[in-house]
Amino acid sequence: MYRASRFCPGCQTAAMRQLSLPSRDGPVEVELCDGCGCFYVEFFDGELTRLARALVPFLHPREQRSRPPGEPRCPDCDVPFTLQPYAERELLLRRCPSCLSAFLTSEEVGSLARPPTED
């Protein structure tokens, strides 16, 4: 594990724990907050849709907030996350404008894991 344990950028009350997910390039480490159910994913961890599918077993069904309270800041860069559209989906995700990491709620991970709808 290459990242030190740190507090969740969203709820700021629980330390995030690291999850090791398998990938074709070797294991990927992402962080999960057991307090609010949010995930922190760094840019180099991989494509978000593929990661979201691997994160589905870790979703917290009890926590379905659309956004964490407050204005989360990137734990690596200490700048506020900004809402940015993701690919062709109608999703706005919290991304760091500096390092491009993502801070995702359980609801957002669930949306990313589902196939896109065709109109």
Residue range 3-31, pLDDT digits in tens: 566 888 888 877 888 998 887 777 888 99
For residues 47 and 54, the answer to whether their CB atoms sit within 8 Å is no
Q: Residue written as tokens 């917290």?
A: 60
The 10 Å Cβ neighbour count of residue 92 is 13
Q: How far apart are CA 93 and CA 85, in angstroms?
A: 6
Show the tokens assigned to 30: 């992402």
Residue ranges per structural domain of the chain: 16-113
Flag whether pLDDT at 68 surpasses 70.
no
Span of 3-12, 31-40, 44-53, 99-108 with lowest mean pLDDT: 3-12
Strand residues in the chain grouped as ranges (E): 16-21, 28-33, 39-41, 82-85, 92-95, 102-104
pTM for the whole thing? 0.83
Q: How confident is the model at residue 1 (pLDDT cuts 50, 70, 90)?
A: very low
User: Distance (Å, rounded) from C-alpha 62 to C-alpha 94?
Assistant: 21
